[in-house]
């Protein structure tokens, strides 16, 4: 584990009042970069702690995947003492991150504008399904809801088959990433102008932004992109194939040099001079005829043989790995992408690491996700100079909670 002081966000304090996935994913990114992230949970804990089917101790694998390098407080914010405690903690932080429904913080007694009037340097970041403004602001949203409404699901799946959700929770994680980017930008802006910002991130907006060229095809050309399957709308040699051993592989031959290497590697050099396939436009126009040649060609050899042959020809090619296979590759990649974690009770887990690497920050931060409310004494002592006896009294009267999630 590296020295946290070598991380770019070392010294910044972040109050994490988020649950489930979009917010915890965001604050984990910030924690990996060295920020002191304290997770404030309701007495029953973040609802993701109890998502089945996999558990380590009292906490779900789902929770453990998104909460490393943080500390936890469990506070009854519905009590006057709990709300006062949260307000005091907000007074000691650089950033608050929350993913309540719009309007909920104010109903709890946390009016953003009032708080920022008292703390103009505070950055307040809100993640919600549809944003703090607009006609849909009060509607509930989850990952698949925004995948559906954004058009992402209409692109996902095989042609002439029902739409499917992405196999990863992109609606949540992309919103978390955009929020982390915005927070870093707001911190940089605060260094320049001395004031914080209010950040408003909508999960739906993030999915629309991720449509990339598909949105341009619709807006500029009036097209209605449909299910992509394992193919590309513009490049017919950018897709998956099934090899002779029934293993799937993908090729991304998207330049003329790669196209020619593909033809040679498959033993179909005659296609290079075939007028039907003379350039990208012609190959797209005649894609069905091209696939009628390529698909049986790939069936002639095993997938690993094609990977070796086509790599030699300079064609980008890869096997479609299962999740366990991909993780095993990551273990030996030399990139610290599989991190071992151990908690005070002796639980051992592995998680996927931080993909962002910084020079002069050797090693990695790898603190086990916190047990519910475990860090009350240390956090309140450090941030508020609160005596241990006062912390114990708060535990006794139910303002603070520690232990098993509900």
Q: Which tens digit of pLDDT belongs to each residue from 317-376?
A: 999 999 999 999 999 999 999 999 999 999 999 999 999 998 877 667 889 999 999 999
Which among 299, 324, 349 is the end of a domain? 324
Site of tokens 């509607």: 139
Q: Is 341 a member of any domain?
A: yes
* Same domain (yes/no): 169, 318: no
Q: Is the pLDDT of residue 1 over 80?
A: no
Q: Is 130 within the bounds of a domain? A: yes
CATH of the domain at 266: 3.30.1540.10
**Do residues 318 and 353 share a domain?**
no
Out of 14-18, 196-200, 358-362, pick the least confident. 358-362
Whether 216 is in a domain gets the answer no
Q: 167 and 40, same structural domain?
A: yes
280 and 356: one domain? no
The pLDDT value recorded for residue 406 is 78
| Total-model pTM | 0.94
3-state secondary structure of 258: helix
More confident residue, 1 or 295: 295
> Which residue range forms the structural domain that includes residue 311?
238-324
Residue 175 pLDDT exceeds 90: yes
Report residue 3's pLDDT band, with 50, 70 and 90 as the boundaries.
Answer: low
Check whether residue 24 and residue 151 sit in a common domain.
yes
User: If phi over 0 gives left and psi between -120 and 50 gives alpha, with beta otherwise, what is residue 267?
Assistant: left
Is residue 367 within 8 Å of residue 375, measured between CB atoms?
A: no
Domain boundary, last residue among 298, 324, 350: 324
Look at residue 295 and tell me if it is in a domain. yes
pLDDT beyond 90 at 53: yes
Q: Are residues 320 and 339 in the same domain?
A: no
Residues 348 and 306 in one domain: no
- Annotated active-site positions, please? 172
| 329 lies in some domain | no
Same domain, 272 and 160: no
Q: Tell me the CATH number at 346.
A: 3.40.50.10540
Q: What is the per-residue pLDDT across 303-321, written as a single tens digit (0 to 9) for each?
A: 999 999 999 999 999 999 9
Question: Is there a contact between 177 and 97 (Cβ–Cβ < 8 Å)?
Answer: no
User: Which domain-ending residue is among 303, 324, 345?
Assistant: 324
Under the banding of pLDDT at 50, 70 and 90, the label for residue 397 is very high
Judge whether 133 lies within some domain. Answer: yes
Please check whether residues 135 and 49 belong to one and the same domain. yes
Rounded Cα distance between 33 and 357, Å, is: 9
Q: Tell me the chain's radius of gyration from C-alpha atoms.
A: 25
Q: What pLDDT does 365 receive? A: 81
Residue 219 lies in a domain: no
Average pLDDT value for residue range 377-395: 98
Asked if residue 223 is part of any domain, the answer here is no
Same domain, yes or no: 275 and 166: no
Tell me the average pLDDT of the chain.
96
Both 68 and 116 in one domain: the answer is: yes
- Residue 373 and residue 354 in one domain: yes
Cis status, amide bond into 170, omega within 30 of 0: no
Please give the tally of structural domains in the chain. 2
Task: Return d(Cα 21, Cα 201) in angstroms, integer.
Answer: 14
């Amino acid at each position: 584990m590296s020295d946290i002081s070598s991380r770019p966000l070392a010294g910044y304090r972040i109050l994490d009042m988020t649950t489930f996935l979009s917010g915890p994913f965001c604050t984990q990114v910030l924690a990996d970069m060295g920020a002191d992230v304290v997770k404030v949970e309701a007495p029953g804990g973040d609802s993701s702690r109890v998502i089945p089917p996999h558990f380590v101790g009292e906490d779900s694998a789902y929770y453990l995947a998104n909460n490393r390098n943080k500390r936890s407080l469990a506070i009854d914010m519905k009590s006057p003492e709990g709300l006062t405690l949260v307000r005091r903690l907000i007074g000691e932080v650089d950033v608050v991150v929350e993913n309540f429904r719009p309007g909920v913080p104010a109903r709890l007694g946390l009016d953003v504008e009032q708080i920022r009037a008292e703390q103009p340097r505070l950055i307040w970041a809100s993640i919600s399904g549809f944003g703090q403004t607009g006609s849909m602001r009060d509607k509930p949203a989850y990952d698949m809801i925004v995948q559906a409404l954004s058009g992402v699901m209409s692109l996902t799946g095989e042609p002439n088959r029902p739409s499917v959700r992405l196999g990863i929770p992109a609606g949540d994680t992309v919103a978390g990433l955009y929020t982390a980017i915005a927070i870093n930008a707001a911190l940089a802006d605060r260094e320049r102008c001395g004031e914080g910002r209010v950040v408003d991130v909508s999960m739906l907006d993030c999915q629309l932004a991720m449509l990339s060229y598909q949105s341009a095809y619709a807006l500029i050309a009036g097209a209605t992109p449909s299910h992509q399957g394992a193919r590309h709308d513009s490049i017919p040699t950018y897709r998956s194939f099934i090899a002779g051993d029934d293993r799937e592989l993908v090729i991304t031959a998207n330049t003329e040099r790669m196209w020619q290497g593909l033809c040679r590697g498959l033993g179909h050099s005659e296609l290079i001079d075939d007028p039907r396939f003379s350039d990208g436009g012609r190959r797209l126009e005649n894609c069905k005829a091209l696939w009628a040649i390529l698909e049986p060609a790939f069936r002639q050899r095993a997938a690993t043989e094609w990977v070796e042959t086509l790599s030699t020809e300079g064609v980008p090619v890869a096997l479609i790995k299962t999740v366990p296979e991909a993780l095993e590759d990551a273990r030996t990649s030399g990139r610290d992408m599989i991190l071992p974690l151990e908690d005070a009770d002796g639980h051992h887990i592995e998680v996927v690491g931080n993909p962002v690497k910084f020079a002069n920050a050797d090693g990695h931060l790898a603190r086990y996700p916190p047990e519910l409310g475990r860090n009350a004494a240390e956090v309140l002592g450090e941030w508020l100079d609160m005596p241990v006896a006062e912390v114990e009294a708060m535990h006794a009267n139910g303002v603070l909670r520690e232990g098993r999630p509900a």
